[in-house]
């Protein structure tokens, strides 16, 4: 958590190449360490995150539109029983 706060502080101070060194766990200059994130990787991460969010929203809509509530089912059964007794 401290690394994220430090990273944000450095980015706010204009150090755009600052990143988290996964070997030490500390914030370091990624350009000096020869670490470069290709644009394609960042685009794929963003695309995957967007697709995951859309899928979660679709599933939520399906669940919300799903089976009727228990109270509605009980009311339907009573109506059906009433119809069959009168026939």
* Sign of the alpha-carbon torsion through 25, 31, 33, 35: positive
- d(CA 37, CA 64) in angstroms, rounded, equals 40
Report pLDDT digits (tens) over 14-34. Answer: 999 999 888 898 999 999 999
Q: Under a CB-based contact definition with an 8 Å cutoff, are residues 18 and 28 in contact? A: yes
- What pLDDT is recorded for position 44? 94
| Rounded Cα gap, residues 17 and 23, in angstroms | 17
Q: Do 35 and 19 form a contact (C-beta atoms < 8 A)? A: yes
At 45 the pLDDT is 94
SS3 37: coil
50-62: per-residue pLDDT in tens?
999 999 999 988 8
Q: Specify the pTM.
A: 0.42
pLDDT for 8 beyond 90: yes
Predicted local confidence at residue 37, as pLDDT: 80
């Amino acid at each position: 958590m401290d690394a994220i706060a430090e990273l944000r502080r450095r980015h706010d101070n204009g150090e755009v190449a600052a990143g988290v060194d996964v070997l030490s766990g500390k914030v370091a200059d990624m350009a000096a360490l020869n670490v470069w994130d290709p644009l394609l990787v960042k685009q794929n991460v963003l695309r995957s995150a967007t697709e995951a969010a859309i899928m979660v929203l679709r599933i939520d809509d399906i669940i919300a539109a799903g089976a009727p509530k228990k109270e509605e089912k009980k009311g339907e059964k009573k109506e059906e029983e009433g119809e069959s007794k009168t026939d």
